Structure 1
C-alpha cells in the first residue's frame, strides 16, 4: 500500500459495511487501530489489528492459520522490543475484522461495545487491556483527528437515517394499500353508519367496501351528517 490515503480507502468500506451490519466498532476507531497496528501497511496475513492466536479456538472466520512475528510490548512500564508472538492469519482483511468482532463479545470488552462515541471507544480499548501501550487511546485519537476519520462514522449515520426513512415510507405505503383493500364484511363498528347511509339513500348496501370507506362513513355518522 503506497500511501496512507490508499490504505484508508481500502479499509474504510469494510469498516463501514461491518458497522452497518451491527458491529460495535466505529469505523473511525477500526481504521485508526489498523493504522496504529500496521503503520498503514497491509501485512501478508491480513491481520490489521494485532490479534494474537490466544486460546487457539477456531471460529467461523479463523481456521487456525498463524504467523510468528516480533512486536513490542510495554512491560512494567518499560518498552521491550523484539517480543515474539503468534498472530492469527486470514485470507482477507474482512475476515480478520469479523473475527475481532467475535472477540469483542467477551465480557471484558463490555465498555468497548457500550461506547457512545469514538473517544469513549478508544479509551475503553485501552482500559480493557487490548494493548499494553499506555498511550494506545491517545495515539488512535490522534490518527482519527489527523485523517478526519469520523467522516466514516457520519456516513454510517446518514445511511441508517436514509434506510429508516425508506422503511417508514414503505410502512406508510403498505398501510395506505391496506386501507384501500376491500373488506370481506362490514366491520361491526361501522354497521350503524352503513345502515344510516342506506336509509338516507346515499349508498346501496356495500358488500366489499374498503377500510377507509367504512371509517369515513363512521366519522360522518358520528358528526350527524349521515
Structure 2
C-alpha cells in the first residue's frame, strides 16, 4: 500500500484500533496509533505488521500462522544504533496483528503496560518493559499522540455496542476487508448477519430499503430488521458485490476477498 498522509493513516486504522479496544485490549488507542506510525512511517504493508513484532520463538497461535518477512531494521545496543536484518511476523490482517500483539502484552513481562492508567504512562512502560531499545521511544510516542490529538480515539474504545434484539443470542464476530475492520457480525444458526448499510457502504455498495427488504445495488436480499437497522447474511452481501467470504475459525473473523 502506498504511503498515506498522517490524517489518512490514522483514520484508516482507527476503526480497527477501537474495535480491538472494545474487545478488551490493554492498549490505549492513542498509544497504539502512535506506535503504528512510529514503527511504519505511515505505510500499511501487505504483511500488516505495524509494530515490529519479530518471529521470536516461532510459536504459532490463533492470530499468527507462521508467515514471515525478512527486512532491515535497527536497534540501540550499548548506546549505539546498529543496523541489522531480522525476520518479522506477517499477518492476514491488521486485526490479526493487533490480537497477536495483545497476546504478547498479556504475558507477565508487560504487566506494567497493562496496568498503565494513562497513555503517557503506557508509553513509558512499553520501553521500561523492553518492547523497544530506543531510549527516546516513550517521548516519540507522546509527541505523536499530542501532535495528532490521538486521545480523541480513547473514549470511543470504551463504548460497548449492544447486540441487536433479534440477534441477542448470536455470537459476535468481526468482518474484515483489505485487512481492516468494517463491521460487526452476528453468527446465528450457521449464518452471519451484518448491518447492511454500514457494511455495504464500506464496500462501495448502494444500500436501500423497500419497506420489507434490503437492496444492494438495486437487488433485494434476505433481510432481518431489528431496532430500525436492516441486517443481511454476509454471504449474500459478498456475492452481490463479487466478493468471497473466508471464515477464520481460530480468530472468529470473516475476511472478504
Same fold (TM > 0.5)? yes
| Counterpart for residue 31 of structure 1 | 33
| Counterpart for residue 146 of structure 1 | 147
Alignment of 1:75-224 (within 5 A): 75-81=77-83, 83-157=84-158, 159-160=159-160
- Taking the aligned partners of 1:96 and 1:140, their CA distance within structure 2 comes to 19
Give the superposition deviation at 1:11: 1.1
Secondary structure in structure 2 of the residue aligned to 1:59: coil
CA displacement, residues 137-176 of structure 1 (integer Å, 9 cap, x when unaligned): 100000000000000002234x25x87xxxxxxxxxxxxx
- Taking the aligned partners of 1:43 and 1:85, their CA distance within structure 2 comes to 16
Runs (4+) of structure 1 moved beyond 4 Å?
A: none
Secondary structure in structure 2 of the residue aligned to 1:56: coil
| Counterpart for residue 40 of structure 1 | 42
TM-score, normalised by the number of residues in structure 1: 0.69
State how many pairs are aligned. 160
Stretches of structure 2 that go unaligned for 5 or more consecutive residues are: 163-257
- Taking the aligned partners of 2:151 and 2:73, their CA distance within structure 1 comes to 28
- Taking the aligned partners of 2:31 and 2:94, their CA distance within structure 1 comes to 16
| Counterpart for residue 9 of structure 1 | 11
- Taking the aligned partners of 1:28 and 1:148, their CA distance within structure 2 comes to 8
CA displacement, residues 174-208 of structure 1 (integer Å, 9 cap, x when unaligned): xxxxxxxxxxxxxxxxxxxxxxxxxxxxxxxxxxx
Structure with larger Rg: 1
Give the superposition deviation at 1:80: 1.2
- Taking the aligned partners of 1:7 and 1:125, their CA distance within structure 2 comes to 22
Secondary structure in structure 2 of the residue aligned to 1:64: coil
| Counterpart for residue 75 of structure 2 | 73
Q: Is the contact between residue 31 and residue 141 of structure 2 (CA under 8 Å) also seen in structure 1?
A: yes
- Taking the aligned partners of 1:22 and 1:96, their CA distance within structure 2 comes to 15
- Taking the aligned partners of 2:131 and 2:5, their CA distance within structure 1 comes to 27
Q: Is the contact between residue 4 and residue 42 of structure 2 (CA under 8 Å) also seen in structure 1?
A: no
- Taking the aligned partners of 1:119 and 1:16, their CA distance within structure 2 comes to 18
Q: Is the contact between residue 25 and residue 102 of structure 2 (CA under 8 Å) also seen in structure 1?
A: yes
TM-score, normalised by the number of residues in structure 2: 0.60
Q: Greater helix share, 1 or 2?
A: 1
